[in-house]
Copies of this chain bind each other. A is one copy, B any other.
Amino acid sequence: MTTNTPDLLTALSCPIPISDYPTVLMAHGGGGSLSQMLIERMFLQAFDNPTLELMHDGAVINLPPAMSEENQGEGTRLAFSTDSFVVNPLFFPGGDIGSLAVHGTVNDLAMCGARPLGLSAGLILEEGLPMDDLWRVVQSMQGAAQKAGVSIVTGDTKVVDRGKGDGVFINTTGIGLIPAGVHVSPLRAQPGDLVLINGDIADHGIAIMSMREGLEFETAIESDSASLNDLVEGVLAAGGEHVHVLRDPTRGGVASALNEIAQKAGVGVQLVEKQIPIQEQVRGACEILGFDPLYVANEGKCIAIVAPEAADEVLAAMRAHPLGENAAIIGEVVAEHPRRVFMRSRIGGLRVVDMLSGEQLPRIC
């Protein structure tokens, strides 16, 4: 499984430079470059194994081959993905931590091309949480699970002392089956592919931040939090093998998701700003709050990287779905500037879209 024995590991000193980072910072969980450093230098090094290395939205596990005959020669492939939710506040316009926790993990499975088989729910409650708030969260989880056609099949509850938690944290972990013939992976992005998204960006992060900052708008900005498995079924039906990569641009937004893919696949990505859908109100809020919407979290958006010959069909499939009315082609994969993302701005210039360095939006999910 790995060449590191426990003894060797114990002898290793901390792979994060303690002089620079003596303690964990909020930015280590922000989805940007400090998160990436923690994952790559610490977790990937320690947990070294080929499945983990892919850094997909979830792991793909091949079941023993005995039962694969009817499966087009492929073994049964399970997707397996985990996510913890610590969003603050617990209830926000368009959702709450319960529905978000279900959507998040259903979506991570969907981004592996998998159909969900079941979810687990691990709750960490803070002593003193109003019982009725817990009930609202639990109902919301179940509502979201039913809507996505998945069951919460196992769970666990812990309680921590007052002041040692924050209301409720939820871990959801999901397993799903990847249908034969579906092969999506960040490694499959290749020059010429087009980059699609199923609608307006930055709604989730701005809904949360507006609420935290007490900003008021004519109509409330709502989170886009939703399960994308049904939309992804349509995308895969329309694009088949031509669908190369699926990724939900959550923490760190579209910019971080595309940077990760560009780095993994060794390709460049070029976005076209004017093609990126965004609500006027959200753009305005981003300006007021000082955020670049490309880095703001989405919780109901899917980036699909698709061979050019299938892009129109995939776009049509997205638009035919209630969660994809504003779907658009927002850029392309290029051979130039490998591992980097650029964007053609509205006024025609080309600018670098870097990995987020610090921590822009704490506890957004």
Contact = CB atoms under 8 A, between A and B. Distances in A.
A176 to B, nearest CB: 11
Interface string A146-164: 1101011111111111011
A152 B84 contact: no
Contacts of A76: 63, 67, 76
Nearest to A70: B66
A78 interface: yes
A326 interface: no
A124 interface: yes
Interface of A: 1-2, 4-6, 9-10, 12, 14-16, 18, 21-30, 35, 38-39, 42-43, 46-49, 51-52, 58-59, 61, 63-64, 66-71, 76, 78, 80-86, 117-118, 120-132, 134-135, 138-139, 141-143, 145-147, 149, 151-161, 163-166, 169, 171, 173, 175, 177, 362-363, 365
Contacts of A122: 82-84, 122, 171, 173
Nearest to A67: B67
A141 B71 contact: no
Nearest to A164: B166
A124 B87 CA distance: 12
Given A25-B127, A157-B28, A165-B166, A42 B363 contact: no
A362 B25 CA distance: 28
A103 to B, nearest CB: 14
Given A9-B142, A135-B14, A165-B165, A158 B47 contact: no
Interface centre among A9, A85, A142 (most CB of B within 10 A): A142
Contacts of A22: 130-131
Given A22-B131, A147-B6, A29 B59 contact: no
